[in-house]
Amino acid sequence: MQEEGLVTPADELPVSVWVWDLDIDPPMAAALSRWLTEDERQRAAAFVTPELQRRWIAARAGMRGILASVLGVTPGSPVFSLGQHGRPYLAGIDCPYSFNLSHSDNLAAFAVCEAVVGVDVEQIKDLPEGVAAMVFSTAEITALDAEPEARRAGKFFQYWTAKEAVLKALGTGLSVSGRSFTVDVTGAATPRLIEADWKNEDTEAWRLLAFDPMPGFAGAVAVRTTRPLRLELRQWVFVL
């Protein structure tokens, strides 16, 4: 018999997050471009600098490479369609996984889970002026203002990544405001969604985890589930 309140590994829902460095050299970028569709190559080419072009190629190729290894297919074969607000999903196959990509500066993260998942990584910078007032809830702004000044920027990015991970799991882009829900990041590794004014969404049915993807960056995943999460954080390496 299971003891009340005790979480066993069987109760946990695994969420895999791969992280990788987007700064690849031109020969690697050329090789990885072969995994991309013509549309994707054109999207990469539209970035203004070669460095940004290579980073976008590395992000999309990483997403393809990881999906390929999870699904047992070649990196070039996944066909992506876009949801109403731009969230990519796999077209034409009955995929048992939800996935989501995030990139910031030279870092990418890609999350895969059997339940709906969103991921966000952000480079930790100075506190951006006036942004919290625009996209955080009143409770979050109050909590952030109460932080000692030296810790406020780091805390801001904990809130930001947790909130953005939720928004990315919802897939609604900018159509749902960051002000419409509140996360609590007091338990730094396990943020919680504590309030939301969305229709048909149960705030109890969300689990969040924060992670340190790389020094100087913050990261978070959000999963629509009532099960406790088990984070499997991995480093992705390109093998050609």
Ligand X SMILES: CC(C)(COP(=O)(O)OP(=O)(O)OC[C@H]1O[C@@H](n2cnc3c(N)ncnc32)[C@H](O)[C@@H]1OP(=O)(O)O)[C@@H](O)C(=O)NCCC(=O)NCCS
Q: Which residues bind ligand X (CB under 6 A)?
A: 59, 85-88, 100-103, 120, 135, 160, 163-164, 167-168, 171, 173-174, 178
Contact yes or no for 137/179 (Cβ under 8 A): yes
How wide is the angle at C-alpha 113 spanned by C-alphas 221 and 87, nearest 5°? 70
Smallest distance from ligand X to CB 180, Å? 10
Q: Which residues pair with 41 in a beta bridge?
A: none
Q: Which of residues 88 and 228 has its CB atom nearest to ligand X in the complex?
A: 88
Q: Which of 3, 9, 1 has the alpha carbon at shortest distance from 228? A: 9
126 CB burial (10 A radius; 0-12, 13-18, 19+): exposed
Type of residue at 236: W
Ranked by CB distance to ligand X, the top (closest) residue is 178
CB neighbour list of residue 91: distance below 8 Å, 6 or more residues apart: 79, 80, 81
Q: Which of residues 85 and 228 has its CB atom nearest to ligand X in the complex?
A: 85
Q: Which of residues 64 and 87 has its CB atom nearest to ligand X in the complex?
A: 87
Q: Which of residues 7 and 173 has its CB atom nearest to ligand X in the complex?
A: 173
Smallest distance from ligand X to CB 100, Å? 5
Smallest distance from ligand X to CB 170, Å? 7
Find the Cα–Cα–Cα–Cα dihedral 36, 38, 40, 41, rounded to 10°.
90
Q: Which of residues 153 and 228 has its CB atom nearest to ligand X in the complex?
A: 153
Smallest distance from ligand X to CB 126, Å? 17
Helix 50-71 vs helix 26-33: angle between axes, to the nearest 10 degrees? 50
Smallest distance from ligand X to CB 57, Å? 10
